Amino acid sequence: MPADEFTLLQSWHHNAQSWIEAVRSGAIESRLKVTDQAILLAVLGRQPERVLDLGCGEGWLLRALTDRGIEAAGVDGDATLVEAARAAGASSVYLASYQELAEAKVQIGNDYNLICANFALLHQDIIPLLAAMNALLAPGGALVIQTLHPWTAAAGDYQDGWREETFAGFVGQWQPMPWYLRTLSSWFNALDMAGYRLVGLQEPQHPQSPVPQSLLLVAERRDGSV
């Protein structure tokens, strides 16, 4: 595993408790005002019966979907986050690393109408994982991804590459986290290579902000794909 990807995993293990507190206390303004609602509406708009939340964290989206009568399962690579999600009422939450998922070493169900990844694809080599998720979708199933908007996050350096999140301004003890920025074309190419076709693109934006808060992609399985 490349050093940056190993450090990314380790930072999640270190930051898990602080992340739980930040999400549940409403400390992340962009989530409260824009991005939480954006991913929820994107998922609900597909009217799925069964959803898998990839990188579900402490489980807020699982709870929101379950409250609306949707069968929702989650998977995350950090044991602290998985336990927090289960303790908060999410019954189907699996512990598995992305590498284990990409290699189909852990069974997390199949025939999902929709798989979502909400700010959960931060590593470089996402194609094997996306292809593995493709195989878990029911016919007509969709993948919904929300991520940092590359134009906004690039800060003038618009090219694929590793960046660092320092969590400046966040309360608590945080370890800096490396994450991989990919351009729009890089996202499109990854989806195509993993067997998807893009069917929707949104740029959620707060009316008082001059830049988009996130990039939201909706993709469907291609016929005859993985």
Please state the φ and ψ torsions of residue 190, each to the nearest 5 degrees: -65, -45
Which amino acid is residue 42, in one-letter code?
A: A
CATH number of this structure's domain 3-221: 3.40.50.150
Spatial distance between the Cα atoms of 169 and 122, rounded to a whole number of angstroms: 21
165-168, long-range: CB < 8 A, 24+ apart: 167/15, 167/18
Q: Which residues, given as ranges, of the chain have pLDDT below 70?
A: 1-2, 224-226
Tokens representing 47 are 């009217």
pLDDT at 1: 64
Spatial distance between the Cα atoms of 1 and 5, rounded to a whole number of angstroms: 7
pLDDT at 85: 97
Spatial distance between the Cα atoms of 18 and 98, rounded to a whole number of angstroms: 22
Spatial distance between the Cα atoms of 31 and 35, rounded to a whole number of angstroms: 5
Spatial distance between the Cα atoms of 128 and 97, rounded to a whole number of angstroms: 13
pLDDT at 118: 98
Contact 211, 45 (CB under 8 A): no
Assign 51 to helix, strand or coil. strand
Contact 217, 144 (CB under 8 A): yes
- The secondary element (H helix, E strand) that includes residue 202 is strand 196-202
Please state the φ and ψ torsions of residue 181, each to the nearest 5 degrees: -85, 130
Give domain limits for the chain. 3-221
pLDDT at 225: 42
In sequence order, which residues have a C-beta less than 8 Å from that of residue 131 and are 6 or more positions away?
102, 193, 194, 195, 226
Residue among 140, 187, 171 nearest 21 (CA) = 171
In sequence order, which residues have a C-beta less than 8 Å from that of residue 32 and are 6 or more positions away?
26
pTM of the model: 0.95
